[in-house]
Structure 1
Amino acid sequence: MALWSSLVLFLLAWQLHIAAMMLPSTLPMVGLFRQAATGQPHPGVARVCFLGGYLLVWTMFGVLALLGDTLLGMALSDWHWLMHRPEWLMGAVLVLAGAFQFTSLKSRCLDKCRQPRSFLLAHYRRGWGGAMTLGVRHGLFCLGSCWALMLVMFVVGIANLAWMAPLAALMIYEKIGRHGDRLVRPAGTALILLGALVFIGPAWMPTLVHMH
């Protein structure tokens, strides 16, 4: 029972987390879908299904990330050397997130997120099934553009505001900012350098490598 209650609490907290970090960047798409759905017999149901599909993608990612985090914690309990050097895990995730900024997958997914009108015209279908499919599809592209940055949140703790605020700002601006495309690679470089600093583990960075 304690396991299920913990999972429910996590999912509730995760939905709030996604609402704060992801929904702001998808508002242009939500607005366009709302306009397109007004001609449907039940536009309100269609909007709910669209958002439900989007949140389903992120909920599944959250569950998988939580499972991975739990399994990693269990493994670290038997790997004492690494358990006492959390900066190695933190540094690896930061370098991974930084390197992903330079990939073609990141670019392709961001392109879809930055052109909501074209995306809607290409994939819009009437009915609640079409709305949910569109939400899932949009959620997958959104996830594809920033899953690595979200992993950073899991490593430092999803309630860590010192990380949440700048990462949320980065993800939002990459998608809807006027010059978001110019920020992707510099942010990647900064993350890689930060990861390298964490690997070194200087004494003046204790809070940066604090694990949840």
Structure 2
Amino acid sequence: MRTMKLIYQKDARPSASSRAPVIWPWILVIAAWTVVLLAALTKQTFLINHNYLLTQSHLSWPIALVLFLTCWQVMTIAMMLPSIMPLVYMIVHASRRQRYWWATQAAFLVGYAVVWTAFALAALLTDTLVHRLVSNWFWLYIHSWLIGAVIFAIAGGFQFSPLKNHCLKQCRSPRSFFMRYYRQGIGASWHLGLRHGMSCLGCCWALMLVMFSIGVGSIVWMAVLTGLMMMEKTYPGGQRLSPWLGIALLQLMVLWLVHPAWLLAGSGV
């Protein structure tokens, strides 16, 4: 810990460059949300809708996969980057005294994005298998609305789990995380991005599963879930939101069982 503190102090030694404000991450976020808004206004959100790409677009599965994962990067920047800004600030300031500072910063973001891209790929493959199961199992076909209820139940129940609490604590302690794991160099920054991505995934995968399954392509769902994840991870006392969010998701499960069309109509899906 003492060694890491010395490294941080050395990298963050006051200078014109280290004192400069960190702007470019917010430029990325604004650009991502601009793309999302333009897609919604021009009714192009089907590009992120995996169901459309796989079943209605008439594209081959590999092309549909590449298109979906490309658009997913925009969603990752728009939804996840705001919630990790405190750690991004530390990495940017610490790397400014390194020779290849731009590559160090990029390596962290790429490592972080790889984790969420792997989640998207796993979710897409699972969704494909579920669709095939629905097509081949008549009972599930006529009760397919149960799938949405199960997703809300999983997401709501996860909010009360020890894994959620453990990962949320790590996400809410960016300075402690930085002091423990930060090392100089591009490769080290890449591994730091992977490590923090795993913590972030462990904290937020259930909420992103709701986004993937129920609210994909919806501005309303994106904005609401982004705000909730930011509050959980960055706001004072935000960890107390988790159980209430779990209760809300379980209530949405009941609402979905009663009439799923209400949620679909309200979200714009």
Q: Same fold (TM over 0.5)?
A: yes
Counterparts of 2:178 and 2:101 in 1: how far apart (Å)? 16
Higher relative contact order (CA 8 A, sep 6+): 1
CA separation in 2, counterparts of 1:139 and 1:49? 12
Matches of residues 1-212 of structure 1 in structure 2 within 5 Å?
Answer: 2-199=60-257, 201-202=258-259, 205-208=260-263
- TM-superposed CA distance for 1:98, in Å, is 0.7
Paired residues of 2:112 and 2:194 also in contact (CA < 8 A): yes
**Secondary structure in structure 2 of the residue aligned to 1:102:** coil
* Deviation of the 1:161 alpha carbon: 2.4
The whole-number CA distance in structure 1 between the counterparts of 2:142 and 2:91 is 49
Per-residue CA shift, 1:138-180, capped at 9, x if unaligned?
A: 0000000011111111221421223222122111110112221
Give the Cα separation in 1 of the matches to 2:219 and 2:146.
Answer: 22
Query: For 2:134, what is the secondary structure of its paired residue?
Result: helix
In structure 2, relative to structure 1, the CA distance for the partners of 1:209 and 1:89 (3 Å cut) is farther
CA contact (8 A) 1:95 1:196 kept: no
- The residue type equivalent to 2:96 in the other structure is T
Rounded to whole Å, the distance in 2 between the matches of 1:35 and 1:125 is: 13
Alpha-carbon offset, residue 86 of structure 1: 3.2
Unaligned runs of 5+ in 1: none
The percent of aligned pairs where both chains have the same amino acid is 43
Give the Cα–Cα distance (whole angstroms) in 2 for the partners of residues 155 and 161 of structure 1.
14
2:134–2:144 contact (8 Å) kept in structure 1: no
The 2-side partners of 1:187 and 1:157 are apart by 17
Aligned partner letter, 2:91: F
Q: Verify the 8 A CA contact 1:90 1:209 in the aligned structure 2.
A: no
How far off its partner does 1:209 sit? 5.4
SS in 2 for 1:206: helix
Output the CA distance in 2 between the equivalents of 1:25 and 1:11: 21
Q: How many residues align?
A: 208
Q: Distance in 2 between matches of 1:80 and 1:146?
A: 33
Instruction: State the AA in 2 paired with 1:79.
Output: W
Measure, in 1, the Cα distance between the counterparts of 2:130 and 2:81.
29
Q: Deviations over 1:48-104 (max 9, x none)?
A: 111110001011111111111111111111123322333311111101111111111
Separation in 1, partners of 2:178, 2:65: 34
- Taking only aligned residues, the RMSD between alpha carbons, in angstroms, comes to 1.6
Shift of 1:196: 2.2
1:101–1:188 contact (8 Å) kept in structure 2: yes
**Separation (CA, whole Å) in 1 of partners of 2:249 and 2:215:** 17
Q: Deviations over 1:24-50 (max 9, x none)?
A: 101111111011112222111100111
Q: Following superposition, which runs of at least 4 residues in structure 1 exceed 4 angstroms of deviation? A: none
Structure 2 gap ranges (5+): 1-58
> 2:178 & 2:141 partners in 1: Cα distance?
46
Measured in 2, the distance between the counterparts of 1:184 and 1:82 equals: 32
